[in-house]
Chains A and B, each alone.
Chain A
């Protein structure tokens, strides 16, 4: 039972990540390879604040979101002015630099040793220790991320993002400062990813840089594409599929290293199948960069 609840928590965390990335990929049409970096900054900010300074979980989450949003400007302000391809490269570079910072700034992050002993979340005096408690908390975070994205995209802000997605020149010709919209969308996306990172840190109670590599970014992108970019249900569906189906490999009885490699093959095969037969994803409005 504990294992099943753990899988549900992971689905919730990845829903949060996929929904936040969908704001960029699905709604705005810009691809970021730095999502795991913001996820990591959220996790590390919250972990460092709670372990070293005893800052409560809620403040740690808010601080993580703020740090991620601020760091997002480092990438977005210079690189979103230029062509989308350069932005992808810039986010890739940011992801690699971020990983190296987490891995080498040992005085702050303890490098490859990671940070252990992260306290479980305490919210209004309620200490969350049970799996059911984490399921509820993760669901709350996932719903929060989905609601934020839905609210932004349902109104005029979202209309401009969709115009940018299809034709940025069109949006500019209508008097929209497209750079501002892209920068804000990127910051919101980064902040929501960081909130998932904070929750992850307090759930697992140990983090190290290996959890926040570019492979994690690619996994979240796969979730958005397979679930369906630009749709309300796409991110949770993508998260559920890519978390639960590979978990099934555990029950075949393969050794762990083989199962891990098979998982990568599974992601790749699923992506190719989706691109060929259902480019809009399982519940998507748009094909990825149609």
Chain B
């Protein structure tokens, strides 16, 4: 898998520095947790890596390719998917339709094939099968026809993960995937992250819940004041006095 990395990222919002020359290289496999206090720049980092905001300075790379100025959809097509801290779904349509939107390279997304229905049906059959497979993976296969807005909050979080997977992404950047959901659902979601790791995907998640990080993370990146202050295995990082002092205390 290509390495996702960034060099000397700087970002300022209304005079407040969100990132202060951050350089980082993500691992190529496993589960990596990004932790840090509020305002450390974790979500800003994810937004820059996925093209949703542009840095004031610095560059991002996916392998040898610079992705700093690429729009979000181009970065997704490279295999970098993401979810958001706040739920982002099409709530007024079915669960299945949410997943189907995410399927890449659909002929019916071009105007002429859409009008003439050329090859659209065959695409749809294949995509529906894939969507149902992914919904089954997270245990939502029975909810396919329900409106996304009628799911519980935890189920909606699972659905955002399914949508991210349906894009075909190999790198999953998840912003607080277990925040605010029932502990049972959170445990299930963490199990799913382990399963995804075992299928060869790189999972990077921003999280405040240190217990969850200890459970699943293979490596931890600690951020504070817009920069990385530590990176390594959780057993080594989470027990350091300066980390406990800066964040965990």
Contacts and interface: CB of A to CB of B under 8 A. Distances in A.
Contacts of B89: 166-167, 170
Nearest to B79: A175
Nearest to A184: B111
Contacts of B77: 175
B92 A166 contact: yes
Contact of B52 (A148, A163, A169, A181): A169
Given A169-B84, A171-B101, A173-B72, A156 B115 contact: no
A173 B81 contact: yes
A152 to B, nearest CB: 5
A162 B82 contact: no
Nearest to B102: A174
B88 interface: yes
B124 interface: yes
B52 A151 contact: no
A157 B111 contact: yes
B108 interface: yes
Which of under 10, 10 to 19, 20 to 34, or 35 or more describes the interface residues of B?
35 or more
A255 interface: no
B72 A157 contact: no
A287 B140 CA distance: 28
Which of under 10, 10 to 19, 20 to 34, or 35 or more describes the interface residues of A?
20 to 34
B136 interface: no
Contacts of B73: 172, 175-178
A158 B109 CA distance: 8
B172 to A, nearest CB: 12
Interface of B: 50, 52, 71-73, 76-77, 81-84, 88-93, 97-98, 100-104, 106-111, 114-115, 117, 120, 123-124, 163-164, 166-167
Given A151-B115, A176-B73, 14 more contacts: A156-B107, A156-B109, A157-B108, A159-B100, A162-B90, A169-B52, A169-B88, A170-B88, A172-B52, A172-B73, A173-B164, A174-B102, A175-B102, A177-B71
